Amino acid sequence: MANKIIISGGGTGGHIFPAIAIANALRQLQPDIEILFVGAQGKMEMERVPAAGYEIVGLHIQGFNRQAMWKNVLLPFRLLGSLWKARKVLKDFGAKAAVGVGGYASGPLLIMANMMGIPTLVQEQNSYAGLTNKRLGEKAKKICVAYENMDRFFPKDRILLTGNPIRRSSVQIEGKREEAINAFGLDLSKKTVLVTGGSLGAKTLNDCVLEGLDKLMDAGVQVIWQCGGFYHEALTEKLADKLPDSVKMLPFLERMDYAYAAADFIVARAGAGTISELAVIGKPVVLVPSPNVADDHQTKNALALADKKAAIMVSDMSASIHLVDELIKLINDEASAYELGQRISEFALPDADTVIAQEVLKLIK
């Protein structure tokens, strides 16, 4: 009889991509395995997971709203309803193990799995564990982490340093530089900077590039600028005919492997998934952590690298003053750039998806 696994969580691409990567790895190890996802109703996983070829069930669950406290009135009822539905899903599906990758839905699902005696595995992507994962980790059989010293949050004997699952297609850049530069219509002889704010874009990064365009052009570099779909139209209007040929502004990057292959320097936010990809890419990086995330975990992720001289960190608040200058200083300092690339590579754990999938299967045995 085929093994049955439930994977829960989502809310952001940073949770969904690792979840799908773990599912794909499980399928590779056991082609007849049955996998069901559990997500939060109305969140992006309800579209992304079926698009990846997996079935998903949605729970009516929400996070705690710190900005508008009145919106939390229904939270206890939604939590109770989600726990009841999670129990029904676990029982009806006949799950042999449950995996939580973070996000609203992983809480009720793993709480109920633990109560029913179904073994659970927590995948913590950040260097600073959130409240939900800390609680789930108390009962989990295994906690897979991406950073060292996570025994501050979890029982030491159950922690395994695996890294974060990454989109393998995005980091396969070997021998693609010329092809990538040509695809973007850029110059092979110039240094290239990739600025990426993720699929939604990042206002701070966009403002910095906008203000610093002249400085970047004077530095003789070319730029791949992924500004996000939300900002693209307004920026296109604002720049009109003023955008130099050596700056390619795009709402999305369809081929992330081309963007990484073309880049000599990268400016990015500090989400866990992004950092895991950047470590495998092994190029000099300037990180600008987003301040709009729970527990300010992006700053903690960035500091974990900056403290080991594996990346340069510029705070969101000071980016308008320092980001472009720090970037140009780095571009002109080949020794520092080389060292940053070498050091961030030491954080690379490219087979995280397979290692985590193997741990999930061990739980069943």
Parallel/antiparallel/unpaired status of strands 192-196 and 4-8? unpaired
Q: Are 198 and 228 in contact (CB under 8 A)?
A: yes
The reply to whether 167 sits in an annotated binding site is yes
Read off the DSSP letter of residue 362.
H
Q: Are 155 and 138 in contact (CB under 8 A)?
A: yes
Q: What string of DSSP letters covers 64-92?
A: --SS-GGGGTTHHHHHHHHHHHHHHHHHH
N-term to C-term CA, the chain? 14
For residue 266, the one-letter residue type is I
The reply to whether 345 sits in an annotated binding site is no
Collapsed DSSP state (helix, strand, coil) of residue 62 = coil
For residue 300, the one-letter residue type is K
The reply to whether 12 sits in an annotated binding site is yes
Burial label, 318 (beta-carbon count in 10 A; 0-12, 13-18, 19+)? exposed
What is the spatial distance between Cα 253 and Cα 4, in angstroms, rounded to a whole number? 35
What is the spatial distance between Cα 82 and Cα 85, in angstroms, rounded to a whole number? 5
Collapsed DSSP state (helix, strand, coil) of residue 321 = helix
**Within 13 Å, how many C-alpha atoms sit on residue 128's CB side?**
14
The reply to whether 13 sits in an annotated binding site is yes
Q: What string of DSSP letters covers 193-231?
A: EEEE--TT--HHHHHHHHHHHHHHHHTT-EEEEE--HHH
The reply to whether 229 sits in an annotated binding site is no
The reply to whether 276 sits in an annotated binding site is no
For residue 353, the one-letter residue type is D
What is the spatial distance between Cα 106 and Cα 86, in angstroms, rounded to a whole number? 10
Q: Are 270 and 197 in contact (CB under 8 A)?
A: no
Q: What string of DSSP letters covers 255-314?
A: -HHHHHHH-SEEEE---HHHHHHHHHHT--EEE---SSSGGGHHHHHHHHHHTTTSSEE-
What is the spatial distance between Cα 190 and Cα 247, in angstroms, rounded to a whole number? 12
Known binding residues are 12-14, 126, 167, 199, 298
Known binding residues for UDP-N-acetyl-alpha-D-glucosamine are 12-14, 126, 167, 199, 298
